[in-house]
Amino acid sequence: MYSLLDLVLIDLYECDHETLLDAEMIKEGMLTAAGLMGAEVVANCFHTFKPWGVSGTVTIAESHLAVHTWPEYNFAAVTFETCGQGMDHRKAYRHLVEFFGSKNPKITLQKRGFMDAPQGELAYKQVVG
Amino acid sequence: MYSLLDLVLIDLYECDHETLLDAEMIKEGMLTAAGLMGAEVVANCFHTFKPWGVSGTVTIAESHLAVHTWPEYNFAAVTFETCGQGMDHRKAYRHLVEFFGSKNPKITLQKRGFMDAPQGELAYKQVVG
């Protein structure tokens, strides 16, 4: 199958509670994940909610990463959407499992955007404008 | 099942080519979608790549929306991640299908973050910090 976009869903259960509260720390963790997978970071946007909870997105040349935390449930949902080839999702995933201290992580991979063109033609790297 | 987060994947095939190129226009389309679903917009981040292609994220109180376009394939991938109840995903979806002029749209809904708590307790609205 020839696809344009990889969608990685990482559900992190039983995380370290304190980590889930700290937007600055989470931003660093996500930027590190982006680097580890080989992505080129373009921008980021992190926000802390009341009474708690952090949401963040990292725009990359290869699409984006996102994270949302639920401190009251020790849960964080991380999403990678990446195009192109050679992204090391596993490396980034391992880092985030450790970073969030998740004792029960889950990861799935889906493909989106199926085209009638050879995979080699579909996978190219855009230049950050 | 009691879940924290809804994941809506909207794959828009056979879109209007010109629309896929214009970051400002796409931002407006996505902000409108956020409003139509009943979300509260916190921030947004849109970027145009070279030679073409737009990526954007909209942070909402209920998590985030994202869009990535492939003008060369007339394809756009839209993602909603929302928590809480009462989000009108369908309304936002219909708007975006029309906005992008997609002749072949596809939508799926997944749930993430399963907790041992009654759904009513899980669904609450955070306040934008």
For chain A, give the DSSP string: --EEEEEEEEEEES--TGGGG-HHHHHHHHHHHHHHHT--EEEEEEEEEESS-EEEEEEETTEEEEEEEEGGGTEEEEEEEEESS---HHHHHHHHHHHHT-SEEEEEEEEEEE-SS-HHHH--PPEE-
Residue of A nearest to B128 (CA): A49
Q: What is the pLDDT of residue A14?
A: 97
Q: Pick from A44, A66, A112: which is nearest to B11 by CB?
A: A112
- pLDDT value at A128 more than 90: no
> With contacts defined as CB-CB under 8 Å, which chain A residues touch B48?
129
User: What's the gap in Å between the CA of A91 and the closest CA on chain B?
Assistant: 22
Query: CB of A55 within 8 Å of any CB in chain B?
Result: yes
Q: For B15, which DSSP code?
A: -
Q: Is B45 a catalytic residue?
A: no
Q: Is B86 exposed, middle or buried (0-12, 13-18, 19+ CB in 10 A)?
A: exposed
Q: What is the pLDDT of residue B121?
A: 63
Per-residue pLDDT in tens (0 to 9) along chain B, 129 residues: 689 999 999 999 999 999 999 999 999 999 999 999 999 999 999 999 999 999 999 999 999 999 999 999 999 999 999 998 899 999 999 999 999 999 999 999 999 999 887 666 665 556 776
Q: What is the pLDDT of residue A116?
A: 80
ipTM of the complex in this document: 0.92
